[in-house]
Structure 1
Amino acid sequence: MALSDSDLRILRELARDGRQTNAELADKVGLSASQCWQRLRRLENSGVIKGYGARIDHDALGVPETVLLELAMERNEGIEVEAVCETLARLPEVLEVRMTTGDFDIFAKLAVSGTRGYERFLRERLYKIKGIRQSRSSFSLRCYKDEISVVP
């Protein structure tokens, strides 16, 4: 689907604030409310807009630490990387899972309650997944940018 300048303005504005009314959005992107609503529905129906959500403060939920986890899979055990990715994606601590290239096959981003919470994740969840050959993890010290989407 080809995106117009108006579509891109709508997407940029929604990425900044997804809760604004259609009238507010239309005013900010320079369209009538009707035109804006029609474009918004087209962007949603075509799948360009996948959904809407709230950004949650993990500190308030008791899981303030972010762990970046890389996993390398055994090649000869017949374990599909995709199946492990799907298993990880179902775990509540896991915020993001990606199949990757390079030395590691999978990247995952977790929200945990410190080192003890991470140890519990490892013991009770990760170590029970078959086929993982190696893992490497890093605790994020500070986040400088945390965007959900990019609009060119």
Structure 2
Amino acid sequence: MDAIDRRIIAALQENGRQKLGDLAEVVGLSPTPCARRVAALEEAGVITGYGARVDQAKLGLPVSVFISVELESQNREALTQFERAVSRMHEVMECHLMSGNRDILLRVVVADLTAFDRFMEETLMRVDGIARMRSSFTLRTMVTRNVLPGV
């Protein structure tokens, strides 16, 4: 990956909807070589997709909760089982395997506390292998970035 590829990635992180001609101009290429580079970045898995950033509160989902999960066992089978279970939970926006005193960190989005309680009781608490959970509610998001550093 060279400097032009990095400029393409940075430009697409800022605006994934820009026309190919505009992108080519921003990065200093003609449209055909720019299109080939974008296709190569997609094929290599560097660019993994395109999507719209939305305001979750305006969609009726204003509550974000971070849930620390400790598993009874940290073996491969337990992790795979947990990962399979949470991948089916639409409220789970992110699931991270962590170092330190927690095994898993989830970011969950819900409409309100009633929806969170229902999610916990009817969904997450039914997953086998969980030893402990601790929840923290987001009061407000102070910084959000969509452009990776150094790109």
The Cα of 1:145 is off from its aligned counterpart by 2.5
How many Å separate the matches in 1 of 2:142 and 2:24? 30
How many Å separate the matches in 1 of 2:81 and 2:120? 18
Structural RMSD (CA): 1.9
The residue aligned with 1:83 is 81
Q: Which structure is richer in relative contact order (CA contacts within 8 A, separation 6 or more)?
A: 2
CA deviations 1:5-57 (Å, max 9, x no partner) are 00000000100110001001111111111111111011011111111111122
The Cα of 1:69 is off from its aligned counterpart by 0.8
TM-score normalised by the chain length of structure 2: 0.91
* Identity value in percent: 34
Gaps in structure 2 of 5+ consecutive residues: none
Following TM superposition, where does structure 1 have runs of at least 4 consecutive aligned residues deviating by more than 4 angstroms? 76-79
How many Å separate the matches in 1 of 2:147 and 2:80? 23
CA deviations 1:77-130 (Å, max 9, x no partner) are 996122212211210111011111111111110111122111111011011111
1:109 pairs with 2:107 = yes
Report 1:29-108 matches (<5 A). Answer: 29-75=27-73, 80-108=78-106
Gaps in structure 1 of 5+ consecutive residues: none
The residue aligned with 2:148 is 150
How many Å separate the matches in 2 of 1:128 and 1:122? 8
How many Å separate the matches in 2 of 1:105 and 1:13? 35
Moved more, 36-45 or 77-86: 77-86
Structure-2 change in CA distance of 1:71 and 1:22 (3 Å): same
How many Å separate the matches in 2 of 1:69 and 1:80? 18
> How many matched pairs?
150
How many Å separate the matches in 1 of 2:38 and 2:74? 48
